[in-house]
Structure 1
Amino acid sequence: MPIEHIVLIALAGLWAGAINTVVGSGTLVTFPALVALGYPPVTATTSNAIGLISGSMTGAWGYRHELTGMRSRIIRFGVASFLGAICGAALLLLLPHTWFEAIVPFLIGFSVLLVALQPLISRWTKKRQGEDATPRRTSPIVYFLIFLIGIYGGYFTAAQGIMLVGALGLFLSEPLQRLNGIKNVLSAIVNLVAGVIYAFVAPVDWRVVAIIAVSSIVGGLLGAKFGRKLPPLALRILIVIIGIAAIVYLVIT
C-alpha cells in the first residue's frame, strides 16, 4: 500500500472517530475516501465498519460520566440495536446498496429536523404531562426506532448517530449530552455486531481495518474530550450542519 494511501486513510479514520463521537456521520468521511482510492463499495463498507469499532467504543467510554444511572435503559436499548445490526449486516450481503440510496437522505433529514426541534418538543411534552407528573415508561416506539436504525447502521452506518439522537430526543426527556452518550453506546454496539459478521462472511481489507482502527481511537478520544464541553446549542447546531452536509453528499453522489 502506497504511503500516501496510508496517510489519507489514517487522516480519514482520525476525523471519522472524532466526528462519530461528537455527532455521527464519520462514515461519510472514510467511505468515500476508500472508494476514491479504488476499493470496491462493499469492501469499503465492511473494512470501514470493522475499523471504526475501536473508535466507537472509545467514544462511548469517553461519555461514561453522562451515562450515570442509565445502565438498565442502555441494556434494553442495546438489545434493540444488537438485533437491528444483525438484520442490517445480513441485508448488506443480500441486497444492493441502491435500495437504500433513495430513502436515506429523507431519513437523515427527518432526524436532523427532530434534533433541531427537540427543545420545543420537550417543552411541549412537559406541558402536556405536567411538570409534577410521574415520568412515564419509555414508549415501545423508541425501541422499534432503535431497532430500525440498527438495521440501517448494520447495512451502511453513515449518519446513524444523527438518526439516533433525533429518535431518542423525541421520546426521552434527557439533556442533549446524555442523549449523545446513549447514541455512542448504541452506535458502538451496531458497529461491533456488524463488524464481527463482516469479518467472517464478507470481503475485508485488513490493512485498511488496522489503519482506521488505530486512527479512530485517537479521534474518539479527542471527540469525547472536546464534544463533552460543547454547550447544548452549539452541539445541536453542529449536528444539524453535519446532517445537512450528509444529505447533500448522498444526493449528489
Structure 2
Amino acid sequence: MLSFFTIIFIFFGGIAGGLLSSVASMASLASYPVLLAVGIPPVYANVTNDAALIWTGIGSTISSLKELKGHWKQVAFYAMFTVLGSILGCYLLLSFPSKVFEKVVPFFIAGSGVMVIVSAKHHNLEPHKRPLWQEIFYIAALLAMGVYTGYFGAAGGVIVLVLLTYITNEKFIVVNAIKNVVCGLANLVALIVFAFTSHIYWLQAIPLAVGMFIGGYLGMDILKVVPAKYVRVFIAALAFIQAAYFFYKAYML
C-alpha cells in the first residue's frame, strides 16, 4: 500500500505534468521523475506514465470543446495516422531496444523548439494551397510521429504540435487543442498494448492520472488568457532544456 504522503506527492506531480502537457506537450518533465522518485524502475515508470497521460488528453479536451467545435473531422483524420503509427511503434518497442532512437532524439526536440517559434511567422501569412507533395510529406510525418510516440515518445507532442501548425491554418489555441486529442488517442493505443505486454503500476498510476486530468483541464484555461507568443517561447525554452538533457544522457554518460 502507498502512504498518504506518497499519494499526495504523485497527485501534485500529476497536476504539474497535466499543465505541462496541455500547455507545452511535455508532461514527462514532471510526471516521469515523480514515478522514479517513488521507486518505480525506469522502463515500468515510462509505461505507467503512459497509463496516466491519457487523462491529460481527456481533461484538456473537455476544457477546449469550444475550440474544437467544427474541427472534429480534422481531429479524426489526423488521429487516424498517429494511432496507426503508435500501434507500429509499440510493436517496434517490443521487438527492438529504444536505444536506437536515443542518439537522434535531442536533435528532434531542439529542432521542434526552433520550429515552434518559426511557425508563428507561418500563421502571419495568408492561407494558400500547398502542393500535393507537401501535403503527403506532412501526413507521412504525422504517421512517423505516431510511430515515435509508441516507440519512444520523448517530447513527441511538441513535434506533433509543430506539424499541425504547418498542416492547418487555425489559431494556435485550436491547433494545440487538436494536438491534445490526437496525442491522447495515440497514448491510449500505446496503453492498451502495454497493458497486455508489460507491467503497469496501477496504484501509482491512479493518483497520477487524477492529477493529470486536473492539470490538463486547467492548462487549456491558461492558454485562453495567455498570449500565444509567450506560450510559444515557453514551449521552445522547455524543448531546449529537454533536448540538452537527452543530449547529455545520449552522449555524455
TM-score of the pair, normalised by structure 1: 0.89
**Cα gap change, 1:135/1:61 in structure 2, threshold over 3 Å: closer, same or farther?**
farther
Instruction: Output the aligned Cα RMSD.
Output: 2.0
- Counterpart in 2 of 1:247? 243
- Counterpart in 1 of 2:53? 52
Conserved? CA contact 1:47–1:206, under 8 Å: yes
Whether 1:151 aligns to 2:147 is yes
What is the alpha-carbon distance in structure 1 between the residues aligned to residue 105 and residue 248 of structure 2? 13
Whether 1:232 aligns to 2:218 is no
- Counterpart in 2 of 1:216? 212
What is the alpha-carbon distance in structure 2 between the residues aligned to residue 224 and residue 29 of structure 1? 18
Conserved? CA contact 1:24–1:158, under 8 Å: no
Aligned match of 2:172 in 176, 186, 210?
176
| Structure 2, gaps ≥5 residues long | none
- Counterpart in 1 of 2:9? 8
Aligned match of 2:193 in 183, 192, 197?
197
Q: How many residues align?
A: 247
Q: Cα deviation per residue 1:130-161 (whole Å; 9 max; x = unaligned)?
A: x7x66878812222111111111122333122
What is the alpha-carbon distance in structure 1 between the residues aligned to residue 39 and residue 218 of structure 2? 29
What is the alpha-carbon distance in structure 1 between the residues aligned to residue 199 and residue 246 of structure 2? 24
What is the alpha-carbon distance in structure 2 between the residues aligned to residue 180 and residue 61 of structure 1? 13
What is the alpha-carbon distance in structure 1 between the residues aligned to residue 214 and residue 234 of structure 2? 20
Aligned match of 2:135 in 120, 136, 139?
139
Q: CA deviation at 1:37?
A: 3.0
Q: CA deviation at 1:172?
A: 2.2
Poorly superposed stretches of 4+, deviation over 4 Å: 133-138
Conserved? CA contact 1:9–1:34, under 8 Å: yes
1:118-133 mapped onto 2 (5 Å cutoff) = 118-123=119-124, 126=126
Q: CA deviation at 1:234?
A: 1.2
- Percent same amino acid at aligned positions? 28
What is the alpha-carbon distance in structure 1 between the residues aligned to residue 220 and residue 152 of structure 2? 23
- Counterpart in 2 of 1:96? 97
What is the alpha-carbon distance in structure 1 between the residues aligned to residue 72 and residue 115 of structure 2? 25
Q: Cα deviation per residue 1:179-236 (whole Å; 9 max; x = unaligned)?
A: 1111111111111111111111111111111111111111111112112222111111
Conserved? CA contact 2:61–2:217, under 8 Å: no
**Cα gap change, 1:155/1:28 in structure 2, threshold over 3 Å: closer, same or farther?**
farther
Aligned amino acid, residue 146 of structure 2: G
- Counterpart in 2 of 1:26? 27
Aligned amino acid, residue 223 of structure 1: G
Aligned match of 2:182 in 182, 186, 189?
186
Conserved? CA contact 1:26–1:158, under 8 Å: no
Conserved? CA contact 2:105–2:154, under 8 Å: no
1:203 alignment partner, SS class: coil
What is the alpha-carbon distance in structure 2 between the residues aligned to residue 36 and residue 134 of structure 1? 49
TM-score of the pair, normalised by structure 2: 0.89
Whether 1:38 aligns to 2:34 is no
What is the alpha-carbon distance in structure 1 between the residues aligned to residue 31 and residue 247 of structure 2? 17
Conserved? CA contact 1:13–1:219, under 8 Å: yes
